[in-house]
Structure 1
Amino acid sequence: MDKSMVKNVAINFSGLVLPTFVSLVTVPAYIHLVGVERYGVISLVWTLIGYFGFLDLGMSMAAQHQISKAHAAGDPAQRSRVFWSAVWLNFGTGIAGGLLIYFGAFAYTAYFAHSEASMQHEVYLALPWLAIAIPLANVSWVFAGAINGMERFGVYNTNQTIGTFLFQLLPLGAAWLIAPNLQTVLAAAVLARLIAAVLLARASFKVLQIERVEWPQRGVAGGLFKFGGWMLVSSMTSMITDSLDRVLLGAHLGARFVTYYTVPQNLVTRLNMLPNALVRTLFPRLSAIRREDADGMVRKSLEFLNGVFTPIAIFAMLVLAPFLHVWVGREIAIASAPVGRILIIGVWLVGQASVTRIMIQSQINPATAARVGLFQLPLFVGALWLGIAHYGLIGAASVVALRSLLDYSVLLWMSRIHARPIALDMLTHLAFLLASLGVASAIDAIANPLRAIAAAAALASINAGWSVLTRPELRSIARGLLRKLSERVRGRANVPVKARRDA
């Protein structure tokens, strides 16, 4: 990858890392204030809102795709037309979704969620706020897509980080100062989303040099729908498969077990920050370059991701249990750590699959990636239902990991790149992860946290060393980092002691 790509990945990664620290602090506080069951209900409610992401109709990704092409062609007028067409379409569908969510949330709470009557009453009182959240989310996605389409990742991440901080802290403050119930928490969350939407809107106007409001144009809207329709199918199937485990756990076992599953899931999903940063960086660039250049970029990106992400996943797998013990207590740690370790493998595979998916969407045909998800969905539903029924939390996590492996394998084959060396590299790293899973299961990490940390450091170092020795791209990056570090150390040593003190 060239220097600009590495820089953009670093910017996107930083924008994903910073909110994580706030989340790590706020989750225990939420559970303490609202209780285990109510926190589980909040998670399920936001999952239901996520289902209404289909009302985006793929406009945000389609707008990003078209804006990146228009930017590469030097056509600001086309950028503006694409932007406003996507904004108005998403605003209209968002209003429709806000009305529909009354019925969806009511039906799920009344007939599927295992909650007490008082908890259901709190959900009903929160429904107006949930309805408002839909159009806010819809237009925010377009603003974000427009900024990323211009590859202004610093601008996007600054605004997104502020919005995420508000989304984590405002509801917690409202629960503490006003009342620890659902309607108060969700109302504060919607207020945070509103502030974040305003920030993104102002930033997108500035980046795209928007000077006036325009109405949607039929020709532009048609092009967005053509690309976005299949992107919608992909996002819908991904959204369903990503959240169905929690929904079915709630239906089978109740809200308490959703918390035991959601706490490690939310934690280990944060590991996907590096793949997400890479994907966010790659999509607009892949949309604007030639196919032969895209092939090389994807191969190097997957090598980079395998080499950097695997040591992180290995380390996380072995230190997960003691971290959960300190973070949320012994009870949740004992129930959640085995689930989280398996989910780490699933998250790692999802990161690999995401790179190949955007390659197909930007360079081949978004319909191809969408059909893969559609084919897998019924198989996943049946396997997940059986896994939960027979093995509970472990069954759900195992099915999720296996589905991720199947998804990656199919997408890699359909991306039409030379897959054999990539697949062999992936399988080697997967073997490291499975070995780490065995070690983590054998160690009582809660009782012996230092032993777990030592094993994590050793296995992660071995994996990182193997990657550097076998992959020229990673060797080059490592040499560059060592060279810069050495230059800084030498430059620091050459500065007189008095000058350093004055600085």
Structure 2
Amino acid sequence: MRTIKEKVLLNFGSTVLPMTAGLLAIPVLIEEMGVERFGLLSIAWMIVGYFGLLDMGLGRALTQRIATNLGIGKEGEIKPLIYFSLKILLFLSITISFLLFCSSEYIVFNIFDITDIYEEETKYSMYWVALTIPFVMLSTALFGVLEGFQYFGWIALIRLPLNVLMFLAPILAFDLENNLEVVMFSLFLVRLVAFLVLLVVVYWQVLAFKNSPISKAERKALLSFGGWITLSNLVSPIMVYFDRFYIASVLGALLVAYYTTPLDLLVKATLIPFSIIGVMFSYFASNWQTNREKVIDAYKKTLFIVFFMMLAFLVVVYFGAKEGLAIWIDEDFASKSYVLTQIIALGVFFNSLAMVPFALVQGVGRSDLTAKLHLLELPVFIVLLFFGVQKYGLMGAAWAWTVRVILDFLLLKLAAYYILRNNKYA
């Protein structure tokens, strides 16, 4: 059995190292594709990421239930859980893919404000995005299985090339043919191959487990946990991604890149704490029923580590934003985006801190709390975004996003405090 440090390092490598590929790839993509096309590519990345979360919460639920069952010695429940979840996701993902495929033309011609010459290739690009969704949703669940088993070696082996190719494949595809549709097709192929590899790995890992019908109690626990995660996953990405659509519709797709480029880059810095949280979530779940003092101690240490890691990140980005963007892209882009970058960096700091209480709250089985908090935050964010963009443009969008994630951290910290206070001696 690997130690926690080894698991964190493996998770770190598979999530953080691809950031280097992103740093190198994004300026090349902007230069070759142009600002507007790259803005459309960033929206496509967002759509794929969003629907990857619309898995009825079964990816996260599988991690929590598998880790919990392993912790209390109920290995016989694991294989039925996996098969049951994948059957549901197969039907759901195909349905969502079909609906998005049918509505692609309407989205392109009636929602996005796109230059006429790009409309046709964007329409066909959306078709490939729709076809990618089933593989993304099923892969999310399969990664959840491996995380529940804490097989972070396999996760690193698959996730590292996947994350790198998400940046490199569009460059290679665009060099092959100057068309956004070819870029989206390359992302489809990357996701398809990743899914097939995951499927084979998970199959061989669970082959020896008992195959029996899923119990009513386990099905109820899975769907209850997953249901709340679904609600949270429906609301949370709206708060994360809706600003892009709103900016594109109000200010035009041309300006999206000036906002999404620093946002996408800085949000990727949350992969640093995520590499820790991905391990700690399954650790919290597997130990909560048997050793709560151990969980409480691990929670406090994790929060302390993330705080100092991301404080250093915030200081560096805040004072180096303008020079960094000028070197990375160009001076004109930097002059339009560096203040946005500073504002977003503050939000990323609090967003990273929020991951720790978020993992604890969900790890102990209280996914209902995170969903309720997101429902509370949604109207606040929408009001801030509408007012901010209308009055202050991109600056208002950046502040709306940052204020929302600060509020999210404060509420999650209170929820974690409530759980620890009421269960410390349980």
TM-score (normalised: structure 1): 0.78
Per the TM alignment, residue 363 of structure 1 is displaced from its structure 2 partner at its CA by 1.9
| Cα distance change on mapping 1:108 and 1:65 into 2, 3 Å | same
Deviations 1:367-423 (A, max 9, x none): 111101001101101111111111111111111111111111111112235999xxx
Which whole-Å CA distance do the structure 2 matches of 1:18 and 1:215 have between them? 41
| Cα distance change on mapping 1:164 and 1:50 into 2, 3 Å | closer
Which whole-Å CA distance do the structure 1 matches of 2:384 and 2:166 have between them? 34
Gap regions ≥5 residues in structure 2? 422-426
Deviations 1:190-233 (A, max 9, x none): 00111111222222233334689988777654432111000111
Aligned to 1:208: 206
Deviations 1:250-283 (A, max 9, x none): 1111112110011111111122122211210111
Percent of residue pairs bearing the same amino acid type: 25
Which whole-Å CA distance do the structure 1 matches of 2:91 and 2:211 have between them? 16
Which whole-Å CA distance do the structure 2 matches of 1:63 and 1:364 have between them? 12
Correspondences of 1:103-122 after superposition (within 5 Å): 103-122=102-121
Q: Is the 8 A contact 1:64 1:284 kept in 2?
A: yes
Correspondences of 1:351-500 after superposition (within 5 Å): 351-363=352-364, 365-416=366-417
Which whole-Å CA distance do the structure 2 matches of 1:201 and 1:116 have between them? 40
Correspondences of 1:33-432 after superposition (within 5 Å): 33-53=32-52, 55-177=54-176, 179-209=177-207, 220-290=218-288, 291-363=292-364, 365-416=366-417
Which whole-Å CA distance do the structure 1 matches of 2:209 and 2:415 have between them? 42
| Cα distance change on mapping 1:324 and 1:91 into 2, 3 Å | same
Supply the AA of the counterpart residue of 2:141.
V
Supply the AA of the counterpart residue of 2:258.
Y
Per the TM alignment, residue 132 of structure 1 is displaced from its structure 2 partner at its CA by 1.4
Which whole-Å CA distance do the structure 2 matches of 1:219 and 1:374 have between them? 28
Supply the AA of the counterpart residue of 2:234.
M
Per the TM alignment, residue 364 of structure 1 is displaced from its structure 2 partner at its CA by 5.4
Which whole-Å CA distance do the structure 1 matches of 2:208 and 2:140 have between them? 17
Per the TM alignment, residue 167 of structure 1 is displaced from its structure 2 partner at its CA by 2.4
Per the TM alignment, residue 339 of structure 1 is displaced from its structure 2 partner at its CA by 0.5
TM-score (normalised: structure 2): 0.92
Which whole-Å CA distance do the structure 1 matches of 2:322 and 2:360 have between them? 36
Aligned to 1:452: none
Deviations 1:464-483 (A, max 9, x none): xxxxxxxxxxxxxxxxxxxx
Which whole-Å CA distance do the structure 2 matches of 1:99 and 1:214 have between them? 32
| Cα distance change on mapping 1:209 and 1:121 into 2, 3 Å | same
Q: Is the 8 A contact 1:412 1:419 kept in 2?
A: no
Paired residue total:
417
Larger mean Cα displacement after TM superposition, 241-250 or 65-74: 65-74
Supply the AA of the counterpart residue of 1:169.
L
Which whole-Å CA distance do the structure 1 matches of 2:66 and 2:144 have between them? 9
Q: Is the 8 A contact 1:55 1:97 kept in 2?
A: no
Supply the AA of the counterpart residue of 1:109.
V
Which whole-Å CA distance do the structure 1 matches of 2:134 and 2:419 have between them? 42
| Cα distance change on mapping 1:297 and 1:366 into 2, 3 Å | same
Larger mean Cα displacement after TM superposition, 29-38 or 49-58: 49-58
Q: Is the 8 A contact 1:147 1:155 kept in 2?
A: yes
Gap regions ≥5 residues in structure 1? 421-503
| Cα distance change on mapping 1:419 and 1:181 into 2, 3 Å | same
| Cα distance change on mapping 1:334 and 1:176 into 2, 3 Å | same
Which whole-Å CA distance do the structure 1 matches of 2:179 and 2:100 have between them? 20
| Cα distance change on mapping 1:217 and 1:92 into 2, 3 Å | farther
Per the TM alignment, residue 134 of structure 1 is displaced from its structure 2 partner at its CA by 1.0
Which whole-Å CA distance do the structure 1 matches of 2:217 and 2:101 have between them? 34
Which whole-Å CA distance do the structure 1 matches of 2:371 and 2:7 have between them? 27
Which whole-Å CA distance do the structure 2 matches of 1:132 and 1:222 have between them? 31
Supply the AA of the counterpart residue of 1:273.
L
| Cα distance change on mapping 1:371 and 1:255 into 2, 3 Å | same
Q: Is the 8 A contact 1:163 1:196 kept in 2?
A: yes
Secondary structure of the residue aligned to 1:416 is helix
